[in-house]
Amino acid sequence: MYREVDCIKVDGDSFELEKHPVIEEMPLAVTVNGRHALTAMISNDMLREFVIGFLYTEGIIKDIDELESIKIEGSNACVLTENPFKILVSKKTVLSGCGGSMSYLDIAKLPEINSGFTVNSETIRNSVKEALDSQLHVLTGGIHVVALYNSKGKVCVVEDIGRHNALDKLIGYALEKDIDLSDTYVICSGRISSEMVRKCLTANIPVVVSRGATTTLATDIAKSRGLTIVGFVRSKKMNVYSWGNRITDIPDSVSEALQVNEE
């Protein structure tokens, strides 16, 4: 996922020609039923999982069984689905920094979370510390980490130059492994955006956690559709922005007060 690149390292008055590990980035062109549907700038692993996850979170497929075949050669992925006339409405370019985005979002049309999953704050803190201990990030400084956990612990950790790409890879992995996503939570190294929230809603993942920030649109969507957002998980601190009743050690009175404010 990385290679050594020549650079001049500057340290005060010192200038040395050295090598530095740099994350690899590649374009992946995805064709669905003969039509170009997507070009993603992506890290070069788990490409099959990315394609499955992206098609699922974009609504191209409703179930993995709808896929007839996925053939990946170099920077091209060719997909056939059960319905040969089903294609993406418009072409997308998913950039490594931001991922897919929507120019218009009707919150009322997004799916609602259907899950009885709960977790306590200590488990969240411990899992964030474990999941985000990425040697690749330490080495290169250029990778996002997204991890999937359930009540038994860590399920999968994915790294990519884009956090949206990583989430799609993770969801694709879970679909192939037939993992019940309603009994899981996601940890990410970067900001929780509206697009990250939308993907979690589509996959019925009830809790999304980050050591970083979220956005107002992300919290508005989460409050409306039953998703728990937890941000700024650091040391013993965290911010719970929506549906605090899924965090079991938060007093009922506090969770209820947040719920009233959400309504």
Q: DSSP string spanning 220-232? A: HHHHHHT-EEEEE
pLDDT for 185-208, tens place per residue?
999 999 999 999 999 999 999 999
Q: How confident is the model at residue 259 (pLDDT cuts 50, 70, 90)?
A: confident
- Written as six digits, the tokens of 23 are 């994350």
Class of 26-103 in CATH: alpha beta
Mean local confidence (pLDDT), 135-164: 90
The contacts of residue 203 (CB under 8 Å, 6+ apart) are: 56, 57, 171, 174, 181
78 among known catalytic residues: no
- Tens digit of each residue's pLDDT (9 = 90 or more) over 60-76: 899 999 999 999 999 99
What is the C-alpha separation between 11 and 79, in angstroms, rounded?
49
CA-based nearest residue to 76, from 15, 5, 27: 27
Average pLDDT, the chain: 90
Residue that wins the pLDDT comparison between 93 and 22: 22
What class, spelled out in words, does domain 121-262 have in CATH?
alpha beta
- Model-wide pTM > 0.95: no
Indicate which residue of 7, 98, 156, 200 is catalytic: 98
Residue 100 pLDDT grade (very low, low, confident, very high; cuts 50, 70, 90):
very low
Percent of the residues in the chain that have a pLDDT greater than 70, as a whole number: 91
Q: What residue ranges do the domains of the chain occupy?
A: 26-103, 121-262
d(CA 204, CA 33): 27
Q: Which of 67, 8, 79, 81 is nearest to 38 (CA)?
A: 79
Please calculate the CA angle 173-101-176 and round it to the nearest 5 degrees: 10
